Amino acid sequence: MPDAALSDPIVAPVMPRITSRLNQLMAEQGVPGVALAIVHDQAVAFMGGFGYADIVAERAMTADTICAVASISKTFTASAIVQLRDKGKLTLDDPIVRHIPEFKAVHNRFGRVEDVTLRRLLTHRAGLVGESPFGHWYKLEFPEMADVIAMLPRCEVVIEPDSAFKYCNLAFALLGEVVERASHRPYGDYVAENILAPLGMKSTTFDTPVDRVRVATGYMPERYQEVPEIAQDPPTRGYQAAAGMRTCARDLTRWLALQFRTRAGRREGAQVLAGKSLSEMHRVTFVERDWKTGYALTWMAARIGENIYLNHGGSMPGFLSMIAFNKPYRLGVVALSNKQGHTVASTIALEALEMLVPSAAAEFKAIKPVPTPEKFRPLIGRYVALGAFGGILHIEFRRGALVLISPPDQYLPPPFPPIELVETADPAVFIVSRGRPAGEPLKLEFAPDGAVTGFILGENGIPFRKT
């Protein structure tokens, strides 16, 4: 049942379809319980639970039920690293041996061990073996960090760094140790003090939940009976930074809302990362050949049609989870489930976003048109570049801003999205905000009677004439 009012004009009309689909998926895959939350910018548009947190006790799943979210922990570890970078404690291109000298014992088949940088570890492109050789995912006995460090001589860089995406839990266990050594605080304490507390994520811990009465029982895959076996619940010890977080859907709505505060300036209070640092973490820097999957600073990107959803999932014995969001429409979904071996969490998160984005797009298009200010009316129109390369640009007034647009009939690829022109103290000069001429001036030219005849674009001085 939902415990957040369904008043959001984008989310409310779509919720019956989302809940119907979720119930269908849970029934088909035998998932006992799912906690679901939807965030629209800074507001929680839906939050509630479906099914059971514990089958035998008939305890309901709610938005406050605590689940193991496993690899979603990595998004917090990455944010801690970026925080420390912003404090000047490290750089993302530091070799990890600068912070963990013991890593020198790792063998790199393809060059120097110094090629294993924090950035490559954060993006799963270091080529490092995926796990330390303890068999912990099979035995469900995780090593202490001292044991992980001691085992580094048996670890290798097994594919060439930057050659491909290679998911690596070991990388994030080690990044947690970097946080600890750079901050001089235990990893869990650093994250609690610098991320969880400022965001008000009071129910989020590593390994040991604050209130065990609220903890969901985790279940293992089971095809042959309706009540599945209860999963083991091992402490993650040295793998906390990779997979140790326990939290609830309510807390993760605060994590989602943060991802949309990219226009904020410095880090302060609940703004645990400066806006530009958040944007940096969201920036996709690698894509697969089919352009359907990409990778940012720990966040992954899924392309469905023309929509891009940043996301990260998590899997631990008894639990599967997904957090996903769309930046242009500021919509995000949290799905936490208490059974391993299914696709409900990832499926409902992405399908819900696919249902919500068209609703948001329709609302976006329905915004009341803004009249063009008189001072901009002489500027708007079609401009043709002079010289050997030619080219056509429009100056238009769209959604309250003066923008430079590549028109549909432009024959010089690639096309680009509208670029806002920023006013200066000189009414004849604007600064281009994005794209190839970003930061450079657009200088208007006038006829003797004051009519706009064209402009000069950029420091290179490309002339355009109004037609």
Q: What is the pLDDT of residues 99-145, one digit of tens each?
A: 999 999 999 999 999 999 999 999 999 999 999 989 888 899 999 99
Cβ burial, residue 196 (10 Å; 0-12/13-18/19+) = buried
How confident is residue 412, by pLDDT bands cut at 50, 70 and 90? low
Round to the nearest angstrom and report the end-to-end CA distance of the chain. Answer: 60
DSSP state of 397: E
**Confidence check: pLDDT of 413 > 90:** no
Please report the pLDDT score of residue 415 as a whole number.
67
DSSP state of 444: E
Q: How many residues does the chain have?
A: 467
Q: Mark 416-444 as b/e (b = at least 16 C-beta within 10 Å).
A: eebbbbeeeeeeebbebbeeebeeebbbb
In contact, 330 and 353? CB cutoff 8 Å? no
Mean residue pLDDT of the chain comes to: 93
| C-alpha to C-alpha distance for 14 and 274, rounded to whole angstroms | 33
Mean pLDDT to the nearest integer, 207-219: 84
- As beta bridge partners, residue 456 has 443, 463
52-81: pLDDT as tens digits: 999 999 999 999 999 999 999 999 999 999
Whether the CB-CB separation of 74 and 65 falls below 8 Å is answered with no
Of the listed ranges 56-65, 313-322, 379-388, the one predicted with least confidence: 379-388
Q: Collapsing DSSP states into helix, strand and coil, what is residue 370? A: coil
- DSSP letter for 252, please: H
The DSSP-derived string for 62-103 is -TT-BEEEETTHHHHHHHHHHHHHHTTS--TTSBGGGT-GGG
Please state, for a pLDDT cut of 70, what percent of the chain lies above it.
Answer: 95
What's the pLDDT score for residue 341?
Answer: 85
pLDDT at 445: 96
pLDDT in tens, 185-211: 999 999 999 999 999 999 999 977 767
For residue 6, pLDDT beyond 80: no
Residue given tokens 């891009």 in the structure block: 308
Longest dimension (CA), the chain: 86
Q: What is the Cα–Cα distance from 278 to 295, expressed in whole angstroms?
A: 14
**Closest by Cα among 393, 455, 461 to 430:** 455
Q: What is the pLDDT of residues 79-93, one digit of tens each?
A: 999 999 999 999 999
> For residue 414, is the peptide bond before it cis, meaning its omega torsion is within 30 degrees of 0?
yes
Q: How confident is the model at residue 210, as a pLDDT?
A: 64
Task: Please write the tens of the pLDDT for every residue from 243-296.
Answer: 999 999 999 999 999 999 999 988 999 999 999 999 999 999 999 999 999 999
Q: Is residue 174 very low, low, confident or very high in pLDDT (cuts 50, 70, 90)? A: very high
CA pair distance 350, 271, nearest whole angstrom: 26
Domains and CATH numbers, the chain: 1-367 (3.40.710.10), 374-466 (2.40.128.50)
pLDDT of residue 103: 98
As a whole number of angstroms, the distance between CA 395 and CA 444 comes to: 11
DSSP characters over 115-162:
G-BHHHHHTT-S-B-SS-TT-HHHH--PPPHHHHHHTGGG-EE-S-TT
The rounded Cα 235 to chain-centroid distance in angstroms is 26
Query: Which bin fits 395, alpha (ψ -120 to 50), beta or left (φ > 0)?
Result: beta
State the pLDDT confidence band at 407, using cuts at 50, 70 and 90: confident
> How much of the chain exceeds pLDDT 90, in percent?
83
Confidence (pLDDT) at 342 = 87
**What are the angstrom distances between the C-alpha of 354 and each of 61, 131, 303, 305, 389?**
24, 34, 11, 10, 41
pLDDT-derived band at 1, boundaries 50, 70, 90: very low
Mean pLDDT across 367-372? 86
Output 453-460 pairs: Cβ under 8 A, ≥24 positions apart.
454/383, 455/383, 455/395, 457/393, 457/432, 458/432
Q: Are 132 and 113 in contact (CB under 8 A)?
A: no
Contact present, 265 and 51 (Cβ < 8 Å): no
- Residues in Cβ contact with 229 at an 8 Å cutoff, skipping those fewer than 6 apart: 219, 220, 222
pTM comes to: 0.88
